Amino acid sequence: MRERPLSAIKDLISRAREAPLAVLALTDEEIAALDGDLTRRGPVPLPWLDDRDRASRELACRVALRGLAARRLVVLAGPAGPGGSGPGGGDFVVASDDLRAVLAMRRSAHAVVCALRESDGQLRLVYLGRSGALEEAISPEGLHDFTVLARDAVAERLAAFTDPAAAAPAAPGQDWGQQWGRGPGPGADSEVLSLAEIAGGAEITAAAGARSVTMVARLVFGSATGEQRLTVYAKEASVIVASPADVGGAPALRFAEVSRSGLRVCLADLVGLALRLVAVPRRRNVRTRETARTPARAAPARGACRLVTAE
């Protein structure tokens, strides 16, 4: 059963080798219906659906499933759904290879990058594999656009997302991003503030005047490295990257200006580090401070699925 989704995934990645491949777009309710269990919300934001009450969510998901069936993306099978409401609920089988591959990539990545652009509420999730990646772009209206990327296209996509107005200068100049991951970088171009200094009222001048701010985090599943984080401030004509720093053992923040290529290097390193770490054996059932607040969920069976609603 693992071979079929794997071959469909590899087919998508091969089609995305030359350019990003926009595969399909789904709505919140379609995602929830395909996830199959409305009583246990997954971690991916569903902003439109979450604003509805329970009865409306159930109805929306049943309608969504009918829509997916009408588009021949799923085949409804078996008995009618809860309450005997007809073909909108109940068992279904994913019929489209592309949709099956997208769903499998969401559930079988080695690492994930999450980029939240706070200034307009746009979210990007990038599911990373060894040979490619799946980008899920989530709008505040609850639309999920799926694009398959070649591995070396991920950093460019993230750079465009974090710097939407292309404010970073093209000329590399003194570029801290080029030294990313190889030490503290040139002090002259960066501002380092300890948390104690910030607590004392020190102003972060480097971030002033930002037009958009994006928080980027990545997590390698099964590794003990924890999250790696960056914040990208896009200003009118420059881009600042903030990262954690260490000043004599004290936690601190570093703010450094980067060029367009430097921003790409920073993000490529974040992604590349994840890809280098995918060989780390997976540890299951690791619960961190964050996960302790998120209930564990059993993986659904592959193949036939069922839309489960609250009784």
Partner 1 sequence: MGLVGADVAYPVDTGNGAIADAMLLAAGLWVAGDAVYDFRQLIWDGLRDAGEWTWDGLRKAGESIADVPGEVLHGLEHRVDPLDW
Q: At what angle do helices 260-276 and 154-162 cross, to 10 degrees?
A: 130
**Is 82:89 a contact under the CB 8 Å cutoff?**
yes
**Is 177:189 a contact under the CB 8 Å cutoff?**
no
44 sits near partner 1 (criterion: CB under 8 A) = yes
Residues 6+ apart with CB under 8 A from 109: 127, 128, 129, 134, 221
* Stretch in the footprint of partner 1 (CB under 8 A) among 15-23, 164-172, 175-183, 289-297: 289-297
How many whole angstroms separate alpha carbon 62 and alpha carbon 45?
19
CB of 242 to partner 1, least distance (A): 5
Residues in region 12-31 near partner 1 by CB under 8 A:
13
180 sits near partner 1 (criterion: CB under 8 A) = no
Q: Which of 290, 301, 303, 310 binds partner 1 (CB under 8 A)?
A: 290
Q: Which of 152, 294, 301, 310 binds partner 1 (CB under 8 A)?
A: 294
CB of 79 to partner 1, least distance (A): 27
Q: Which of 160, 226, 301, 303 binds partner 1 (CB under 8 A)?
A: 226
SS3 content of the chain, % helix, strand, coil (to 5): 35, 30, 40
1 sits near partner 1 (criterion: CB under 8 A) = no
110 sits near partner 1 (criterion: CB under 8 A) = yes
Please give the size of the binding site for partner 1, defined by CB under 8 A: 83
CB of 26 to partner 1, least distance (A): 16
Q: From residue 158 to residue 177, what is the string marking binding to partner 1 with x (rule CB under 8 A)?
A: --------------------
Q: From residue 113 to residue 132, what is the string marking binding to partner 1 with x (rule CB under 8 A)?
A: -xxx-xx-xxx-x---xxxx
Place of tokens 């399909």: 24
Token pair of 138 as six digits: 């989530």
* Stretch in the footprint of partner 1 (CB under 8 A) among 47-55, 153-161, 178-186, 261-269: 47-55
**Is 234:211 a contact under the CB 8 Å cutoff?**
yes
CB of 285 to partner 1, least distance (A): 8
- Which CB sits closer to partner 1, 118 or 152? 118
**Is 179:171 a contact under the CB 8 Å cutoff?**
no
Return the amino acid letter for 174. Answer: Q
- Which CB sits closer to partner 1, 61 or 116? 116
Residue 135: CB atoms within 10 Å: 23
How many whole angstroms separate alpha carbon 307 and alpha carbon 30?
11
